[in-house]
Amino acid sequence: MTEFREGGCLCGKVRYRIAWPPLAQATCHCRNCQKQAGSALSVIAVVPRSELELNGGLRTFVDRGDSGQPVYRRFCPDCGSPVLTDMPKAGAQGIIFIKAGTLDEVSDLKPATHYWTDSAQGWAPFPPDGKKLGRG
């Protein structure tokens, strides 16, 4: 039996439901994720696109990754909360990235992979059992 987890933006106008547990949990330390999150990193839950139920409208900022490919950063148009990130390559693989801080329940989050660690803040701790990838 599939479990589900819900989440949403700060103001509550955007809500979603996803299958749980996710395919992966990760952090991204790239400068663009730092800027979007307003923090040292972004915590991400990777989920099957087909399992995402989204209620409420999102706005999209088209960013560019180092590869030059578009990165669609989707956020609540009212409160500005980043909710998900989408990329053509990920879409082709049938996955989407949920900003894990928007989940209602976060007590069992444990990112296992840490991306773009070359851009990590110098004080950012990494768990000893986590996989670190310098440039994605």
pLDDT at residue 122 in the model: 86
* Of the candidates 82, 10, 89, 23, the residue with the CA atom closest to the CA atom of residue 52: 23
**Is the bond preceding residue 21 a cis peptide, omega within 30 degrees?**
yes
Q: Over its length of 136 residues, how does the chain's per-residue pLDDT go in tens digits?
A: 679 999 999 999 999 999 999 999 999 998 988 999 999 999 999 999 999 999 999 999 999 987 888 999 999 999 999 999 998 887 778 899 999 999 999 999 999 888 988 888 888 888 878 778 776 5
Distance CA 41, CA 1 (A): 33
Distance CA 25, CA 98 (A): 10
Domain limits, the chain = 3-133
Fold of 3-133: glutathione-dependent formaldehyde- activating enzyme (gfa) (3.90.1590)
pLDDT at residue 61 in the model: 96
pLDDT at residue 88 in the model: 82
pLDDT at residue 109 in the model: 93
Question: 49 and 96 in contact (C-beta within 8 Å)?
Answer: yes
- The type of residue at 131 is K
Q: Measure CA 82 to chain center.
A: 8
* CB count in 10 Å sphere of residue 136: 14
pLDDT at residue 77 in the model: 98
pLDDT at residue 93 in the model: 86
